[in-house]
Amino acid sequence: MIEFDNYLSPGRKGFLVGIGGVSMSSLAEVLQGMGLAVSGSDMSESANVQALRRGGITVKSGHAAENITDDIDFVVRTAAVHDDNPEIMAARARGIPVFERTQAWGAISKDYSNALCIAGTHGKTTTTSMCTHILMAADRDPTVMIGGTLPLLNAGHRVGRGNTIIMEACEYYNSFLSFHPTVAVVLNVEADHLDFFKDLDDVKRSFRAFAQRTPEDGFVVANADDAETMDALQDLGRRVITFGLGKNADVHAENIEFIGANSHFDVIYNDRLFTDVTLHVPGLHNVKNALAAVAASICLGIRPTAVKYGLAGFNGAGRRFEFKGKYNGADVYDDYAHHPSELKALLDAVEQLGYSRTVLVFQPHTYSRTDALFDDFVEQLRRPDKLLLAEIFAAREKNTIGISSADLAAQVPGAAFYPSFPELEDALRQLAQPGDIVLTVGAGDVYKIGENLVKE
- The pLDDT of 208-228, averaged and rounded, is 97
Which one of 2.30.130.30, 3.90.190.20, 3.30.1330.10, 3.10.20.30 gives the CATH number of domain 322-455? 3.90.190.20
Q: What is the pLDDT of residue 269?
A: 98
DSSP 8-state assignment for residue 369 = H
Rounded-to-5 percentages of helix, strand, coil across the chain: 35, 25, 40
CATH class of residue range 4-101: alpha beta
The sign one gets for the Cα dihedral 39, 141, 161, 110 is negative
Range list for CATH 3.90.190.20 in the chain? 322-455
For residue 49, pLDDT beyond 90 = yes
pLDDT tens for 430-452 read: 999 999 999 999 999 999 999 99
Angstrom distance (rounded) from CA 191 to CA 121: 8
- Assign 153 a pLDDT band (cuts: 50, 70, 90): confident
Q: What is the pLDDT of residue 430?
A: 96
Range list for CATH 3.40.1190.10 in the chain? 112-312
Q: What is the pLDDT of residue 44?
A: 87
pLDDT tens for 133-152 read: 999 999 999 999 998 788 88
Give the domain 112-312 fold: UDP-N-acetylmuramoyl-L-alanine:D-glutamate ligase (3.40.1190)
Outline where 352-409 has alpha helix (H): 367-372, 374-381, 405-409
Q: What is the pLDDT of residue 154?
A: 84
**3-state SS assignment for residue 235:** coil
- List active site positions: 124-125, 168
Range list for CATH 3.40.50.720 in the chain? 4-101
Check: pTM over 0.75? Answer yes or no: yes
User: Checking phi first, is residue 297 left (phi over 0); if not, alpha (psi -120 to 50) or beta?
Assistant: alpha
